[in-house]
Structure 1
């Protein structure tokens, strides 16, 4: 796990059951990225940086996971953490034609709301916008199997719009 240099003290990370903080950066076109825009889908929110090799490896696997599940059921939001906003377009171009939702958190505010202290840092969010699982670090042999199991558990649950009224 790698830490970013000279960051502000983040708040405590949201825990399973907590509502996920909504604002998670800006797209390459300057539009805000919000968790609420993907309500009804399972969300994998991951914080990464270009200098973090495990982060880049994880992004490749997360894109495959999103492709497999379908973007209408699962959305991966990859937040570029604490890198200059001016570098973000080049970083997006380096990733190629990614299907992931990419956002920039150059000022670290989104990371602060999520209590990010090191990367990779992941939050798996259910269809109702609540944090279901969290992960710190990445182990290619162990992490992806656990992540797939957690995502599949959430995907198997009945979507909010199909639940019977209370």
Structure 2
């Protein structure tokens, strides 16, 4: 009898887990806290722009290589049509600020997700990874960044999103 009750319980609990978002799904509303000021970073603040959400962590070696690429995207592809939000997951804002200070005058938004709930809302736990959100607030593309080729792919995806109507 106990075994018969366990299966429905397992199925019920598994349904509560976050599923990975797909292209066309609405993106999460909250994108963490600004690492410098502590205010909430809200997706709607960038409506009408392509928003690039980049998840990283201070303990992740390749994440450090992806940070300058995210800043490059922000600077080279334009502030008028694009906003990069780089979110450090489960990291202290002071540590994040110390690391991002090395990027000189940073134009991308540096945010923190101290609990990991923002990343959970996207449904992917690999770092670094990049989510591209269209002007309509829906997921346009997503890619994990494991090497330089993946980083180039992420930049091409952003460029394609910027060209799309």
TM range (shorter): 0.7 to 0.9
Query: Residues 152, 94 of structure 1: CA spacing in aligned structure 2 closer, same or farther, 3 A cutoff?
Result: closer
Task: Name the CA distance, whole Å, in 1 between partners of 2:85 and 2:109.
Answer: 5
Q: CA RMSD in A?
A: 1.9
Aligned pairs for 1:1-166 (under 5 A) are 11-27=18-34, 28-140=36-148, 142-158=149-165
Query: CA 1:139–1:88 in 2, change beyond 3 Å: closer, same or farther?
Result: closer
Tell me, in whole angstroms, the C-alpha distance in 1 between the residues paired with 2:116 and 2:53: 15
Q: What SS class does the counterpart of residue 159 from structure 2 fall into?
A: helix
More helix by share: 2
Between structure 1 and structure 2, the one with the greater Rg is 2
**Residue 125 of structure 1: CA displacement?**
0.9
* 1:86-106 CA distance string (max 9 Å, x none): 534434434443211010101
Any conservation in 2 of the 1:82–1:107 contact (CA below 8 Å)? yes
Looking at both structures, which has the greater relative contact order when contacts are Cα pairs under 8 Å and sequence separation is at least 6? 1
Structure 1 length-normalised TM: 0.81
**1:119–1:136 CA contact under 8 A, matched in 2:** yes
Q: Give CA deviations for 1:127-161 in whole Å, capped at 9, x if unaligned.
A: 11110111123211x12332222222211123xxx
Aligned match of 1:161: none
In structure 2, the CA distance between the partners of 1:85 and 1:68, relative to structure 1 (3 Å rule), is closer
TM-score, length of structure 2 as denominator length = 0.81
Give ranges in structure 2 of 5+ residues lacking alignment: 1-15
* Contact kept in structure 2, 1:58 and 1:138, CA below 8 Å: no
Alpha-carbon distance in structure 1 between the residues aligned to 2:137 and 2:145: 23
Where structure 1 has 5 or more consecutive residues not aligned to the other structure, the ranges are: 1-8, 159-166
